Amino acid sequence: MSQEWQIVWFTAWVSALSTLLILPAGLAAAWLLARHDWRGKSLVETLIMLPLVMPPVATGLILLKVLGRRGVLGGFMHDKFHLDLAFTWRAVLAAQAVMSFPLLVMFARTAFAGVNPRFEQIARTLGAGEWRVFFSITVPLAWRGIVGGMILAFARALGEFGATIMVAGNIPGRTATLSLSIYESVQLGRDAAAFRLLGIAVVLAFAAVWLGGWFLRQRRV
């Protein structure tokens, strides 16, 4: 496999993994925001949305402080399991997860809010507990929005740059992603390689956004 395809493959699988990783917490947060009111809800909501509006390098710096060897999580993982987080593929995964989390929550929340609560209430009168209601009524009725949100989160992860370069660097064969490699190719004057990677990035991003839009356009049941 050429180095370019290796970069594309690495970016794609880490992005897919980060999307799957944020799914449980993303759905839980979206459901809590859509269905419940509690003290501090607006604060949590703002915190979740913060990576969308903050400079990505600032988010990356925070991640570096947390995941580095002197960071809370990075130090713990290094001391206990001899596992490094910063400047490894795990840091790429963390950066992508943090940066795409708000998108998933935003879309899933809208999807949950669109489910008529009467269906859930009647399911309860039919003997269903909360987990059964969630998985048999809420999620199936909101699935288009959830899948649309997952696809857009995946697309966001594919294109992640600022936070990734801060916390994972751009190490060939270890942490180099599509975005980082395009930047590096331009910096080194390798225009042909940059444009080949650019073409792949455009195709991937177009496919992801189009698929996401297609899911959202489907008729609601």
Partner 1 sequence: MSLLLKNISLPLADFVLQVDVELAGQVTAIFGPSGAGKTSLLDLIAGLRRPERALIQLEQRVLTDTARGLALPPRERQIGYVPQDLALFPHLPVRKNLLYGCKTPAPRDGLFSYEHVAAVLEIGPLAGRGVTELSGGEKQRVALARALLTSPRLLLLDEPLAGLDAALKARIIPYLARVRDEFQVPMLYVSHDRQEIQALCDEVMELERGQVLPRAKEKA
User: Which parts of this chain interact with partner 1 (CB under 8 A)?
Assistant: 116, 118-119, 121-129, 136-137, 140-141, 221
| CA within 13 Å, CB half, 185 | 19
In the complex, minimum distance from the CB of residue 129 to partner 1, in angstroms, rounded to a whole number: 6
Minimum CB distance to partner 1, residue 19 (Å): 24
How far is Cα 178 from Cα 69, in angstroms, rounded to an integer?
26
CA distances for 65 relative to 70, 71, 105, 160, 180, angstroms: 7, 5, 25, 19, 21
Task: Please state the closest distance from residue 217 (CB atom) to partner 1, in A.
Answer: 18
Question: In terms of CB distance, is 122 or 209 closer to partner 1?
Answer: 122
Nearer Cβ to partner 1 (2/125): 125
- 217 vs 219, which CB is nearer to partner 1? 219
Task: Give the tokens for residue 96.
Answer: 């992508």
> Which C-beta is closer to partner 1: that of 43 or that of 221?
221
User: Are the C-beta atoms of residues 132 and 124 closer than 8 Å to each other?
Assistant: no
Q: Do residues 131 and 103 touch, judged by C-beta distance below 8 A? A: no
Min dist. Cβ of residue 92 to partner 1 (A): 37
Q: In this complex, which beta carbon is closest to partner 1, that of residue 30 or of residue 123?
A: 123
Dist CA 156 CA 58 (whole Å): 17
In the complex, minimum distance from the CB of residue 128 to partner 1, in angstroms, rounded to a whole number: 6
